[in-house]
Amino acid sequence: MTMQWTEETLLDETLRLLQGKGPPQAYAFLRQNEGRVHAENRGQIYNFSYCLAALCGQVDEALAILAKATREGYWWRPEVFCDEDLQSLQGHPDFEALREESCRRYAAAQSGARWQCSWAARRHPGVLLALHGNQQNATHAKNAWQDVTGPHMQLETLQAALPDSYGLYRWQPGDDSEARIAWQVNSLRLAGHRTVVLGGFSAGCGAIARALARQDTRCEAAVFAAPWLPGLEEVMENLVENLVRHGTRLLVVCGTQDVDCLPGATLLASRVQDAGGHCTLELPAGLGHAFAPGFAGKVGAFLHGAPAAA
């Protein structure tokens, strides 16, 4: 498969090399190709770079990358600095100072974090509400889904309120994301949208799944791209029951090389299909944790002709 130079594909290939060939090859690949990716927020790329440098035993280089990122304003949640990949840096005075500064910035961001939904007014009868993945934001979601909607559907985004790193956010089980998504969907209906579609990437799919497991949340269709579904079994029964009861059409797209997400994606699809629900499962060969080539066309074909709510 020809490499499509996005942040997702760059980091996914880096992980594949790390698991298959080891840190030196993964680090060399990342440093050689990071310039090919246009990303306004390079926090994840920096994180991969200093972690891999540390894994390779290049302490000075890892510290230089982390210091450069810090000078540019980046920071990460405290758990990142406990990563075992950074063992070679632990206790180093420069590392501890950079960790302290990052934690200070994280605390400040956490105190001011708020949910952000782009919706301002109803322009079309249908709406697709797109959720980003972890270590992403609403801009990632907008860019990924902007070519999906047709002339009768508007695209809106919902950004999580839990900071992950500078300018990036995360969803996780146990937060209040399902309640917020449920509230947002109901608000869209009250605003007059006859068709509501929920779309998610990676952990955004998990947040949607938890929301749809609630009896008070329904949508006409849901699209899961590379779905990361932690705790799926805990909500599976309610989720499948509600999808079938509400007639929600589900599209699941997960690459055959997306080893962390593939089991949950196929399990969910089979459970919905076995229960008599409408679920389309697509497994692009050779694709890792990324949006599939031609994703907009796949979703457009799936949504075409989807019935509106009565």
The 10s digit of each residue's pLDDT in 66-78 is 999 999 999 999 9
Per-residue burial over 38-56, b = 16 or more CB atoms within 10 Å of its CB, e = otherwise: eeebbbbbbbbbbbbbbbb
The full 3-state SS of 100-133, as one line of letters, equals HHHHHHHHHHHHHCCCEECCCCCCCCEEEEEECC
Token duo for residue 151:
């002339």
- Please give the angle made by the CA atoms of 177, 216 and 119, to the nearest 5 degrees: 55
What is the spatial distance between Cα 67 and Cα 176, in angstroms, rounded to a whole number?
34
Cα 174 from chain centre = 17
**Assessment of whether the complete model's pTM goes beyond 0.85:** yes
- pLDDT > 70? residue 2: no
pLDDT at 310: 32
pLDDT at 309: 37
pLDDT digits (tens, 9 = 90+) for 183-201: 999 999 999 999 999 999 9
Beta strands in 161-310 (DSSP E): 162-165, 168-170, 195-201, 221-225, 249-253, 279-282
pLDDT digits (tens, 9 = 90+) for 266-305: 999 999 999 999 999 999 999 999 999 999 999 988 987 5
Token duo for residue 224:
């899961």
- pLDDT > 60? residue 308: no
Tokens 């230089």 locate to 64
What is the spatial distance between Cα 309 and Cα 165, in angstroms, rounded to a whole number?
39
What single-letter amino acid sits at 17? Answer: L
> Do 182 and 211 form a contact (C-beta atoms < 8 A)?
yes
Mean pLDDT of 215-242: 94
CA dihedral over 118, 120, 123, 125, signed as positive or negative = positive
